[in-house]
């Protein structure tokens, strides 16, 4: 079964909008796991506009499943991740002022840099994943960085799915097939939702994990966090 990792960045955005400690990040992480989530994801950015570095440092005290930290591997981020030693680090090439992640790595042009970063994380026993567009060439090049997994950037799928699901999923199937051929683990995330997750998971071979935040939190405003998490798990169990 594909694991569900709940990204709690949007919870921190809500907290930060008012100040104080409501909603409480640690309690939400505990509740999400109690409701069935098999992992917790955070993406601290340099300006700490949602998840803060302190949040990331405190979360291991309540995480009983898997902890995944995403981010651009600038020196401050690398130092933080190596100190925390989460189960997984996902490398994302987002600019400091990016509203949200909007592209995958060019693993050909950035091979030497990614090799160095991946090696440092793996020396600390941290599983590594590289955020990629659904491009078989980039997937094959990712192998040479030494990464354990890739995470497919799924915004293009989410946008095209309502018009033509088969066309929307095709490049992702190709990328997933290539990942299996070259021995890379496969994750996915960005704009996946209750509306499009089942078809995506059914079609992709070897999908180990999805990381979902924005849509899941928005859906929870209507249906409740426990109910939504269980709906995702049910949809991920159908393939």
For domain 3-236, the CATH class is alpha beta
pTM: 0.95
Closest CA to 130 of 42, 120, 115: 115
Predicted local distance difference test score (pLDDT) of residue 148: 98
Residues with catalytic roles? 43, 70, 190
Predicted local distance difference test score (pLDDT) of residue 95: 64
Burial of 169 (0-12, 13-18, 19+ CB in 10 A): buried
What tens digit of pLDDT does each residue of 32-47 get? Answer: 999 999 999 999 998 8
Match 């192998």 to its residue by tokens.
143
Match 């919870």 to its residue by tokens.
11
In whole angstroms, give the CA distance from residue 9 to residue 212: 10
Predicted local distance difference test score (pLDDT) of residue 104: 87
DSSP letters of 98-140? -SS------TTTTHHHHHHHHHHHHHTT-EEEEEE-S-HHHHH
Closest CA to 227 of 42, 32, 8: 32
- The total of other beta-carbon atoms located within 10 Å of residue 225's CB is 19
Domain residue ranges of the chain, discontinuous segments joined by +: 3-236
What phi and psi, each to the nearest 5 degrees, are found at residue 201? -65, -35
What tens digit of pLDDT does each residue of 4-41 get? Answer: 999 999 999 999 999 999 999 999 999 999 999 999 99
Instruction: Give me Rg for the CA atoms of the chain.
Output: 17
């Amino acid at each position: 079964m594909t694991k569900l990792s709940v990204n709690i960045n949007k919870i921190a955005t809500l907290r930060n909008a008012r100040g104080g400690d409501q909603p409480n990040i640690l309690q939400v992480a505990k509740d999400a796991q109690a409701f069935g989530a098999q992992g917790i994801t955070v993406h601290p950015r340099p300006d700490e506009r949602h998840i803060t570095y302190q949040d990331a440092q405190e979360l291991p005290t309540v995480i009983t499943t898997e902890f995944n930290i995403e981010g651009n591997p600038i020196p401050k981020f690398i130092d933080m991740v190596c100190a925390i030693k989460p189960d997984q680090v996902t490398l994302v090439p987002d600019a400091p002022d990016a509203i949200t992640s909007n592209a995958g790595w060019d693993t050909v042009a950035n091979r030497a840099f990614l090799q160095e970063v991946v090696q440092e994380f793996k020396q600390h026993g941290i599983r590594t994943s590289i955020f990629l567009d659904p491009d078989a060439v980039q997937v094959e090049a990712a192998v040479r960085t030494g990464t354990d997994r890739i995470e497919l950037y799924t915004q293009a799928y989410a946008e095209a799915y309502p018009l033509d699901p088969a066309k929307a999923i095709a490049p992702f199937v190709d990328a997933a097939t290539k990942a299996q051929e070259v021995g890379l683990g496969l994750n996915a995330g960005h704009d996946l939702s209750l509306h499009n997750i089942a078809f995506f998971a059914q079609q992709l071979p070897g999908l180990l994990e999805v990381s979902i935040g924005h849509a899941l939190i928005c859906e929870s405003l209507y249906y409740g966090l426990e109910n939504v998490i269980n709906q995702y798990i049910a949809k991920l169990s159908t393939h």
